[in-house]
Amino acid sequence: TIVASYAGRAAGRAAAVVIDPDTGELLASASYPWPLSPESATPAEHASDPLLDRARYGLYPPGSTFKLVTASAALRQHLDPDRTTSMCVRLPDGRVGASIAGWSRPIRDDVLDTHPHGTIDMHEGFVHSCNAYFAQLAVRLGSQPLLDAANRLGISLTPASDAAGRV
């Protein structure tokens, strides 16, 4: 019911997972709407993804988990976390986040964030789990420091230039 409640505030769909941080073992997962449930809006909605287990098969950006990688990369580049600031503003659609040059879609914070964070530093970025701050920091760093930081943490990534050439 918690996942269903959140889905009501987040475009009608939601997923949640619980992972053991020590082992990486999946302890629980939930997806909403449930396959073919009465809460699903229309038969047309069923036609596009009637049995999709969003917790396991949905495609989502890594979000807050990658904020630690981004912060690690920034610190290894000797950026001062108190002086490395970014803006988090109200977007034209009413959500909180930031528009980033060269990106067609804005970076949005959680749907429940109702107040822009303004000019924030790394500490405040973590306190508010601000997607806008960390996305702007990642762009400022560039791909190589992010790839290096992820690699040091045991996270394997494919650089965009490599992925673009694959089918």
Digit-by-digit pLDDT tens for the chain (167 residues) are 676 776 666 667 777 888 887 887 888 888 777 655 445 444 444 445 646 777 777 666 666 889 999 999 999 999 999 999 999 999 999 999 999 988 889 999 988 888 999 999 999 999 999 999 999 999 999 999 999 999 999 887 776 654 444 33
Strands 14-19 and 26-32: antiparallel
Dihedral (C-alpha) 65, 66, 69, 75: value to the nearest 10 degrees? -100
Question: Please, which residues have CB within 8 angstroms of residue 150's CB and are 6 or more apart in sequence?
Answer: 69, 156, 157
pLDDT at 165: 41
CB atoms within 10 A of CB 23: 8
E-assigned strand segments in 1-137: 14-19, 26-32, 86-90, 96-98, 107-108, 118-120
Q: Which of 125, 122, 129 is nearest to 84 (CA)?
A: 122
pLDDT of residue 65: 82
Q: Please tell me the distance from the alpha carbon of residue 82 to that of residue 46, in angstroms, as a whole number.
A: 48
Tell me how far apart the 2 most distant CA atoms of the chain are, in Å: 54
Distance between alpha carbon 53 and the CA centroid of its chain, in Å?
A: 18
